[in-house]
Structure 1
Amino acid sequence: MDERRAQAAIDREAIGKSDGQQRRTPAKRTPKPMAQEAYHGVVGEIVERVAPHTESSREALLVDALAQLGNCMDRGPHGFASGSRHGVNDFFVLVGPSGSGRKGGSHGHTRRLMGDVDPQWAAKCIKGGLSSGEGIVHHVRDAREKNGEVVDPGVLDKRLLCYEPEYGSVLTVMQRRGSTLSTQMRQAWDVGDLGVLTKHLSERATDVHFSLLAHITNLELQAMMSDLQAANGYGNRHLFFWVERRQYLPDGGGLPSFDSLAPRLSDVVNKAGRLHLYERDGDAKAVWAEVYPELTADRPGITGAITARGEAHALRLQILYAALDGSEVIRPEHVFAALEVVRYAHDTARFIFGNKTGNKDADRILESLIAEGPKPRSELFLIFKNNIPAARLQTALDLLVEYRLAWSEQREPEEGGHKPIEVWTATDW
Structure 2
Amino acid sequence: MACAGGEGTETNPYAIAANFIAYLSCAIGRGVYLPIGNTWHHTRIFCLHIGRSGRGRKGDAVQLVLRIDQALRELDDRYAPQIHRGGLSSREGLVALMHDGYRQGKQEIPAIDDKRLWVVESEFANVLHQGRREGNTLSAALRDCWDGVSLKPATKSNRMYASHPHVCLSGAISPSELTEMMTSRELTNGFANRFLMIWAERSQILPFPKATPQATVNALASRVLEILRFTGADQVDQRDHLRMELSAQAQWRYAQLYRTELNEDQGSEVVNSMLERRAPMLLRLAMLFALTDLQTRVDVPHIDAAMAWIQYITASVRYVFVSAADDARMAQALELSNRVLAFLHDRGQATRSQISTECFRGKVPKSLIDDSLQCLLTSTPPKITVRQADRSDGAPGAPLRVYRLAAP
1:86 equivalent to 2:52? Answer no
C-alpha distance in 2 between matches for 1:375 and 1:110? 49
C-alpha distance in 1 between matches for 2:38 and 2:127? 31
CA offsets 1:159-210 (integer angstroms, 9 cap, x no match): 1111011111210110111111011111111123111242432111111110
1:127 equivalent to 2:85? Answer yes
CA offsets 1:216-271 (integer angstroms, 9 cap, x no match): 11111111112221111111111100001111221122233224332232121122
Aligned residues: 335
C-alpha distance in 2 between matches for 1:234 and 1:269? 29
The alpha-carbon distance between structure 1 residues 164 and 173, as it changes in their structure 2 partners (threshold 3 A), is same
C-alpha distance in 2 between matches for 1:113 and 1:157? 20
The alpha-carbon distance between structure 1 residues 209 and 198, as it changes in their structure 2 partners (threshold 3 A), is same
Contact 1:118 1:266 in 2 (8 A): no
| Number of the residue aligned with 1:305 | 273
Q: Percent same amino acid among aligned pairs?
A: 28
Structure 1 segments, 4+ long, off by >6 Å, are 399-404
Of 201, 204, 207, the match for 1:244: 201
C-alpha distance in 1 between matches for 2:107 and 2:286? 40
C-alpha distance in 1 between matches for 2:174 and 2:122? 10
| Number of the residue aligned with 1:20 | none
The alpha-carbon distance between structure 1 residues 222 and 54, as it changes in their structure 2 partners (threshold 3 A), is same
Matched residue type, 1:133? R
CA offsets 1:100-120 (integer angstroms, 9 cap, x no match): 121221111121012112454
Contact 1:54 1:106 in 2 (8 A): no
1:136 equivalent to 2:94? Answer yes
| Number of the residue aligned with 1:282 | 248
The alpha-carbon distance between structure 1 residues 168 and 197, as it changes in their structure 2 partners (threshold 3 A), is closer
Matched residue type, 1:238? F
C-alpha distance in 1 between matches for 2:302 and 2:276? 21
Aligned counterparts, 1:333-412, within 5 A:
333-354=301-322, 374=366
Contact 1:301 1:403 in 2 (8 A): no
1:228 equivalent to 2:195? Answer no
The alpha-carbon distance between structure 1 residues 82 and 75, as it changes in their structure 2 partners (threshold 3 A), is same
The alpha-carbon distance between structure 1 residues 373 and 243, as it changes in their structure 2 partners (threshold 3 A), is farther
Contact 2:148 2:166 in 1 (8 A): no
Of 132, 135, 138, the match for 1:181: 138
| Number of the residue aligned with 2:151 | 194
Instruction: Report the TM-score, using the length of structure 1 for normalisation.
Output: 0.70
User: What 5-or-longer segments of structure 2 have no aligned partner?
Assistant: 234-240, 334-363, 369-373, 380-395, 399-408
C-alpha distance in 2 between matches for 1:217 and 1:403? 31
| Number of the residue aligned with 1:106 | 61
Q: What's the C-alpha RMSD, in Å, of the aligned pairs? A: 3.4
Matched residue type, 1:297? E
| Number of the residue aligned with 2:405 | none
Offset of residue 276 of structure 1: 1.1
SS of residue in 2 equivalent to 1:202: coil
| Number of the residue aligned with 1:59 | 14
SS of residue in 1 equivalent to 2:297: coil
1:272 equivalent to 2:238? Answer no
Instruction: Report the TM-score, using the length of structure 2 for normalisation.
Output: 0.74
CA offsets 1:390-419 (integer angstroms, 9 cap, x no match): xxxxxxxxx999989xxxxxxxxxxxxx98
Contact 1:171 1:225 in 2 (8 A): yes
C-alpha distance in 2 between matches for 1:262 and 1:181? 32
C-alpha distance in 2 between matches for 1:269 and 1:123? 11
The alpha-carbon distance between structure 1 residues 82 and 296, as it changes in their structure 2 partners (threshold 3 A), is farther
CA offsets 1:288-344 (integer angstroms, 9 cap, x no match): 122111212344411000100100000111111111111121111111111111111
C-alpha distance in 1 between matches for 2:172 and 2:222? 29
Of 97, 101, 104, the match for 2:52: 97
